[in-house]
Structure 1
Amino acid sequence: MVDLMNPNGEDTELLLMGPGESERSWRLNFDGFRRSEPKEKPPRGLHDCLGVLGTEDCVAEYYQQQVEMLEGFTEMDALAERGFLPGMSKEEREKTARSETLAIRISNFANMALFAAKVYASVRSGSLAILASTLDSLLDLLSGFILWFTAFSMQTPNPYQYPIGKKRMQPLGILVFASVMATLGLQIILESVRTLLSDLALYTIRTWSATVLENVNSLVGRTAAPEYLQKLTYLCWNHHKAIRHIDTVRAYTFGSHYFVEVDIVLPSDMPLREAHDIGESLQEKLEQLPEIERAFVHLDYEFTHRPEHAQAHS
C-alpha cells in the first residue's frame, strides 16, 4: 500500500496490484476519469439567437470533446481485450443486408412503375410540371441503378485485376451521379433564369457540388481527423508492453475507407519471430476497425531517423 497525493491535495492510498493486474500496468488507463454531472444552463440572450458562442459554450464544447475522446479510448480497450468490436453478429449483419437488398429492389420497381405512369401522363397532357416530375423520377432510377451497380461490383471481387478489392467503387459511383446532378442543375440555371427567384436549382447545385468535393477528398488521400488519430495511437500503445515508442501514426482516405501506416519501436535485441508476431497482430487488430481497409505496421528499433517516405519540397 502506497500513499499518494490526489489533485485536490488530499492523501489517498494505492493498493498494490496482484499478479494478474500487473500484466496490464504498462497500459494507459483512463478508468479514473469520470464525466461530471451536467449543470443546467442559464437562460441565454440575444447572442444565443445570433449563433455567437459565449465563454460557457466554449468550455462546454471543450469538455464534450474530452468525453468523446474517452469514449473512443474505451472502444479501443474493448477491441484490445475482446479481439473484436461490440455490435451485431455476422448472422445479424447478413439478415440486415438481405433486408436492405429487398428494400432497394422494391424501391426500384416502384420507381419504374411511377416513371412509366408519368411518361404516359406527360405525353397525354403536355404539362411542363408533369414533365419536370418525370425527369425527377428518371434521376431516381439513375441513382438506384448506380447504387446497385456499385454494390454488385464491390460484391464480385477479382483478385487478379483488383488485388486490394473494389470498395472504392462506391465513392466513384456517387461522384458520377453527383456530377450528373450538378450538370443538370447548371442546365436549369442557363435555360430558366426566371426560376432563379426560387432556390430549387441553386440548392441542388450547392448540395451536389459539396458532395462532389467530399468524394474528391476521399480519393486524393486526405488525412483522418485528429480525434481518430488519437484513437489509433491509443490502440497501438496498448497493444503490447514491449512497444517502447510510437514513431508515426498516419490514416488517410483511399476511397470510402482509410489506409493506416504505423511505425512502432521495439527493443533492438528482440527476436525476429516475436517482433513479427507483435506487428502482425497489431495489423490485424487495426484492420478490424470498420473505417480501415488496410493497415501497414513498420517495425523499428530507434526513432531518431528521418520519417520514411518524406515528401520532397520543391
Structure 2
Amino acid sequence: MVGRRQWNADQGARHRGSHIGEDARPQYEDGPRDLENGRYYDYGIGNKDSRPKPRIMKFQDAARTALEDARRGEIKRALMHGIDRSGLEKYRKSDEELKQMKNKKLRQFYEQQNERLNDWLEVDAVVMAIADDVLESMNPDPDHDGDQERCGGIQRVEGNIGELLPDEEKEKRRKAAKRANLAININVIANILLLAGKAFAVFTTGSLSLVASLVDSALDLLCTLIVWSTSRLVLWRLQAMQRRFPVGKRRLEPLGILVFSIIMVISFLQILQESLSRLMPPHAEAEILSWAAIASLLATIILKGAIGLGCRPIQSSQVQALVQDCKTDVIFNTLSLLFPFIGYRANVWWLDPVGAGLLSIFIIYDWGHTCFENVVRLSGEAADDHTLKKLIYLAYRFAPVVTGFKNVTAYHAGDGVWVEFDVLLDEKTPLNRSHDIAETLQYCAEGLGEVDRAFVTTDYAASGPLGHATDSEWNH
C-alpha cells in the first residue's frame, strides 16, 4: 500500500499490514522471502508453488516495486494535500442557530451551505478512503512474468468499491437501506389491511367514490409488490445475472415504477368512464355511506398520512414513490369521504359521480407526471445542479495531479447518474501515471452514492475534439 510499506535492505524483506479490518498478513521466517513467491504472501492468486528466484532478480523486483511505490506515493500525497475537514466544519450552522434566524432567505442560504458542506466532506472522505487502495491495486505484476507481487484493496474486495468506504459512510448507507426496507414492509402490511377493509365496505354502499378508493388501494398493493420485487432483483448477484446485465440492474427500479404508473392511469380511465356514464339519465338517488365505509376511509387517511410523514426523509426512489403514493391516498380518500357524504346530506345525487370523475382526473395527472419523469430519466436526462456541483468538487480534489478538466458531463441512466470526466494532462505525462490518475478518479466517483458508473478520458490539448460524435443519434 502506498505510504505503508517499508523495505529492510539488510533482510531483503517487505513488512506490510492490512488496512482492512485488523487481520495482519502472516510473516514467515523460514525459507526465502521473494516478492514473486506466493508461499509467504498468498492473496488467493495461486502463487503457492512458485520457485524462488536468484538474488539478483529478487533485488530487481524490490527496486522496481520501490520505484512504483514512490511514484504512487507522490500522487497520493498530492491528492491528500489541502484536505481540511475540521476547517470546513467551522462554517456549518447548527439546527439551533438556524431556528433562531428570523430572515427566511438567510436561513435558506445557510441550509444550502450546510448541504454543500456535507457534499464536500463526503467527497473528501471518499478520496481519503479509496485513493490509497486504488493506487495500491495498479499493476500487481510489473515485470509481466505471471506472478503478482502485490494485491491491492480493489482485488481484496473483488471490485466492490463500497467495502472501501469509511465506516461512517458505510453505516450511513446501511441504515438508509434498512429504513427503506422497513418502510416498504410496513406499507405492504398497511395496504393489505386497508384493502380488506374497503373490500368489505364497498358491498355496503353503491358509492362510486368508494369503488374508486378500493381500486386505488388494490393498485397500491400492486405498486408495493412491484417496488419490492425490483429491489430484490437489483440485489441479486448471481453470476448468470452479472453476465446478462454487465453494468448492473439499477434501471429495473424506475422501470417498475414506470409500469405501475401506466397501470394506474389505465385503471382510472375506466373509473372516469364509469363516472361519466352515471351522470347520464336515468338519474339515481344519492348514495349513503355506511359506518364501515366511513371507518375504512378514515383509517386509510390516518394510516397513510403517518406512513408518508415517516418515510419522507428517506432519499430513495422506491420510498419516495411510496411517499407520493401516501400523499395521493390521503387526498384521494379524504375527497372520497367528503363527496358522497356531502351529496347524501345535501341530497345532491350527481356529487358522488362528479367527485369520482374529478378524483380519477387527479390520479391520471399525478401518475402521468410520474410516468413522464421516469421516461425522461431513462432517456438520459442531465443530472441536477446539486449533483453536478458535487462532481465538480471531486474534480477539484484532483487538481494537484492534473493540468485541468475539459468537461464534466453527468446524466441519468435511470435513478442513478453516469458521469464522464475529460481530463487534461501534460503531453509528456507517462502512460502509467496517466492511467493511475484516471482510474483513481473513476473509482472515487463511483464511490459516491449518486453515481452508478464513471468514465474518465485523458487529453493533452484543451482545444481538441469533445470525444463523442455529435450526430451519433442520426447515424443508426
TM-score (norm: length of structure 2): 0.50
> What RMSD over aligned residues (CA atoms) do the two structures have, in Å?
3.7
Is the contact made by 1:221 and 1:253 (CA closer than 8 Å) also made in structure 2?
yes
- Contact 1:263–1:298 (Cα < 8 Å) also in 2: yes
Q: Identify the residue that residue 173 of structure 1 maps to in structure 2.
A: 256
After superposition, the Cα gap between the structure-2 partners of 1:234 and 1:116, relative to the gap in structure 1 and judged at 3 Å, is closer
| Secondary structure in structure 2 of the residue aligned to 1:81 | helix
Looking at structure 1, the residues matched to 420 and 454 of structure 2 have their Cα atoms a distance apart, in angstroms, of 6
Query: 2:394 aligned with 1:235, yes or no?
Result: yes
User: Which ranges of structure 2 fall in alignment gaps of 5 or more residues?
Assistant: 1-76, 131-164, 277-349
1:263 to partner: Cα distance: 0.7
Greater shift, 210-219 or 198-207, is seen at 198-207
How many aligned positions are there? 277
Contact 1:221 1:252 in 2 (8 A): yes
Q: 1:122 to 1:294 in 2, by over 3 A?
A: same
Alignment partner, residue 379 of structure 2: 220
Instruction: Find out whether 1:192 has 2:275 as its counterpart.
Output: yes
Give 2:120's match in structure 1, choosing from 73, 76, 81. Answer: 73
DSSP 3-state at the match of 1:297:
strand
State how 1:95-110 maps to structure 2 within 5 Å: 97=177, 100-101=180-181, 104-105=184-185, 107-109=187-189
Secondary structure of residue in 1 paired with 2:398: coil
Counterpart of 2:242 in structure 1 is 159
Equivalent residue for 2:148?
none
- Bigger helix fraction: 2
Partners of 1:244 and 1:69 in 2: how far apart? 25
Q: CA separation in 2, counterparts of 1:62 and 1:98?
A: 31
Find the aligned partners of 1:104 and 1:40 in 2 and give their Cα distance: 37
Aligned residue runs from structure 1 range 254-273, under 5 A = 254-273=413-432
Q: Which amino acid aligns with 1:222?
A: E
Q: Deviations over 1:34-54 (max 9, x none)?
A: 579989657xxxxxxxxxxxx
- CA offset at residue 99 of structure 1? 6.4
Q: Secondary structure at the match of 1:160?
A: helix
2:387 touches 2:450 (CA, 8 Å); kept in 1? no
Q: Aligned pair in 2 of structure 1 residues 85, 219: CA closer, same or farther (>3 Å)?
A: farther
* Paired letter, 1:281: T
- Aligned counterparts, 1:101-180, within 5 A: 101=181, 104-105=184-185, 107-109=187-189, 111-112=191-192, 114-116=194-196, 118-120=198-200, 122=202, 125=204, 127-128=206-207, 131-157=211-237, 158-180=241-263
Relative to total residues, which structure has the larger strand share, 1 or 2? 1
Task: State the shift of 1:60 in Å.
Answer: 8.2
- Unaligned residue ranges in structure 1 (runs of 5+): 1-21, 43-55
Alpha-carbon distance between aligned partners in 1 of 2:102 and 2:210, rounded to the nearest angstrom:
51
Displacement after TM superposition at 1:265 (Å): 1.0
Secondary structure, counterpart of 2:401 in structure 1: coil
Residue 283 of structure 1 aligns with an amino acid whose one-letter code is Q
User: Alignment partner of 1:223: what SS?
Assistant: coil
AA aligned to 2:125 is A
Helix, strand or coil for the counterpart of 1:159? helix
Q: Are residues 63 and 98 of structure 1, via their aligned partners in 2, closer, same or farther at CA, if it must alter by over 3 Å?
A: closer
* 1:280 aligns to 2:439 (yes or no): yes
Change (3 A) 1:102 1:115: same
State how 1:288-307 maps to structure 2 within 5 Å: 288-307=447-466
Tell me, in whole angstroms, the C-alpha distance in 2 between the residues paired with 1:260 and 1:275. 19
Q: Is the 2:79–2:398 contact (alpha carbons within 8 Å) kept by the matching residues of 1?
A: no
Report the Cα distance in structure 1 between the residues aligned to 2:366 and 2:122, rounded to whole angstroms. Answer: 33
Q: 1:135 to 1:117 in 2, by over 3 A?
A: same
Deviates more, 1:198-207 or 1:125-134: 125-134
Shift of the 190–290 alpha-carbon distance from structure 1 to 2, 3 Å rule, reads same
Per the TM alignment, residue 71 of structure 1 is displaced from its structure 2 partner at its CA by 5.1
CA offsets 1:236-281 (integer angstroms, 9 cap, x no match): 1212522001011000000110111101011221221111111111
CA contact (8 A) 1:242 1:267 kept: no
Q: Which residue of 1 aligns with 2:410?
A: 251
In the TM superposition, what is the alpha-carbon distance from 1:135 to its structure 2 partner?
A: 2.3
Q: Once the 2 structures are TM-superposed, how far is the Cα of residue 303 of structure 1 from its aligned partner? A: 1.7
Structure 1 match to 2:42? none
Cα distance, 1:67 vs structure 2: 6.5
Matched-pair contact (CA < 8 Å) for 1:237–1:243: no
**Does the CA contact (< 8 Å) of 2:234 and 2:252 recur in 1?**
yes
Do the aligned partners of residues 200 and 286 (structure 1) sit closer, same or farther apart at CA in structure 2, a change above 3 Å counting? Answer: same
Indicate conservation of the 8 Å contact 2:254/2:415, yes or no.
yes
The alignment partner of 1:275 has SS state of helix
- Rate the CA distance shift 1:164–1:250 in 2: closer, same or farther, 3 A: same
Q: In percent, how many aligned pairs have the same letter?
A: 34
Q: Distance in 1 between matches of 2:445 and 2:181?
A: 29
